[in-house]
């Protein structure tokens, strides 16, 4: 039975790229702040055009304020876009290094196992773990981490803006958070178990294909092609059902 691996252990895989990830996280913070500042300055434009501007000098001042605010918005968008591009590049490059390091460590670990281990473990399953499973862990250690940090940052900055506008209304909005958190936590455990089942089924399907290709002369000699197709299709359909359930 596979043990549940904590997220901190996954993060350790990206430890050699820590400084790059810190730089990417800083760019992520700036990008998240820019995403929240754009609507804030958009609201300022609405406030400006809603003022009483009957006198010519008031109209001139209002026009100057609108132009200045639009300039700020352009600068924010450009800065945010540059930081978003930097964040994506650094996180993606780090993720490729993580998966290469993980595959190297996993292969080194497997190749040093006892011979009895290979007697009870199918080669196709090991190949599936080296290819598909490492890709999933790569996403967890980099891309998913990036998304989680972005969401947390947006939440923190957004709450700051909300409390500065109306703390009473903000507290009222947050009253539903504990209920949602409990439901999401339970749902997350369900998805994690479903993901384990999906990966296991995919590994078995890969092992069946590897066995069939490796013994193709025997399969042909006994005309067992339909049987092998049936075995493989059964596991593929099982993987499909789990994948659809997960979707």
Of residues 242, 206, 212, the one with CA closest to residue 225: 212
Tell me how far apart the terminal alpha carbons of the chain are, to the nearest angstrom. Answer: 24
Convert the pLDDT of each residue in 18-70 to its tens digit: 888 888 888 988 988 898 889 888 888 888 888 877 788 888 888 888 999 99
Phi and psi of 112, rounded to 5°? -100, 10
Domain ranges of the chain: 5-165, 167-246
And the tokens for 188?
Answer: 């997350």
Inform me whether the pLDDT recorded for 76 exceeds 60.
yes
Lookup result for tokens 């080669």: 123
Q: What is the mean pLDDT of residues 79-86?
A: 93
Of residues 181, 94, 187, 170, the one with CA closest to residue 138: 94
Q: Which residues contact 68 (CB under 8 A, 6 or more apart)?
A: none
Of residues 115, 124, 100, 112, the one with CA closest to residue 17: 100
Mean pLDDT of the chain: 85
- Written as one string, the DSSP assignment of 90-145 is HHHHHHHHHHHHHHHHHHHHHHTS-HHHHHHS-HHHHHHIIIIIHHHHHIIIIIHH
Inform me whether the pLDDT recorded for 163 exceeds 60.
yes
pLDDT at residue 230, rounded to an integer: 92
- pTM beyond 0.75: the answer is no
pLDDT at residue 24, rounded to an integer: 86
Please, are residues 10 and 69 in contact by the beta-carbon 8 Å criterion? Answer: no
Q: How confident is the model at residue 150 (pLDDT cuts 50, 70, 90)?
A: confident
Residues 11, 44: Cα–Cα separation, whole Å: 41
Query: Homologous superfamily of 5-165 in CATH?
Result: ABC transporter type 1, transmembrane domain (1.20.1560.10)
pLDDT at residue 7, rounded to an integer: 65
Q: How confident is the model at residue 241 (pLDDT cuts 50, 70, 90)?
A: very high
In sign, the C-alpha dihedral spanning 44, 45, 49, 55 is: positive
Q: How confident is the model at residue 3 (pLDDT cuts 50, 70, 90)?
A: low
**H or E stretch covering 32:** helix 18-49
Inform me whether the pLDDT recorded for 6 exceeds 70.
no
Inform me whether the pLDDT recorded for 141 exceeds 80.
no
SS3 208: helix
Share of the chain above pLDDT 90, in %: 18
Convert the pLDDT of each residue in 178-228 to its tens digit: 889 889 999 988 988 898 888 888 888 888 888 888 888 898 899 999 999
Rg (CA), the chain: 27
């Amino acid at each position: 039975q596979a043990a549940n691996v904590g997220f901190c252990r996954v993060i350790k895989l990206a430890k050699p790229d820590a400084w790059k990830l810190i730089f990417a996280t800083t760019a992520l913070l700036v990008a998240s702040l820019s995403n929240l500042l754009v609507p804030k300055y958009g609201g300022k434009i609405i406030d400006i055009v809603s003022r009483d501007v009957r006198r010519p000098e008031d109209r001139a001042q209002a026009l100057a304020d609108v132009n200045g605010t639009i300039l700020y918005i352009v600068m924010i968008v450009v800065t945010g876009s540059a930081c978003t591009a930097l964040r994506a590049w650094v996180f993606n490059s780090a993720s490729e290094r993580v998966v290469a390091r993980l595959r190297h460590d996993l292969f080194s670990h497997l190749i040093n196992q006892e011979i009895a281990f290979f007697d009870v473990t199918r080669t196709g399953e090991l190949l599936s773990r080296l290819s598909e499973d490492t890709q999933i862990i790569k996403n967890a250690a980099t891309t998913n981490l990036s998304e989680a940090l972005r969401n947390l940052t947006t939440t923190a900055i957004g709450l700051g803006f909300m409390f500065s506008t109306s703390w009473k209304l903000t507290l009222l909005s947050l009253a539903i958070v504990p209920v949602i958190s409990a439901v999401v936590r339970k749902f997350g455990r369900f998805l994690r178990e479903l993901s384990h089942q999906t990966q296991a089924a995919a590994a078995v399907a890969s092992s069946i294909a590897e066995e069939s290709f490796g013994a193709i002369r025997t399969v042909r000699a006994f005309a067992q092609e339909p049987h092998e197709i049936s075995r493989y299709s059964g596991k593929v359909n099982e993987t499909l059902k789990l994948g659809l359930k997960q979707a």
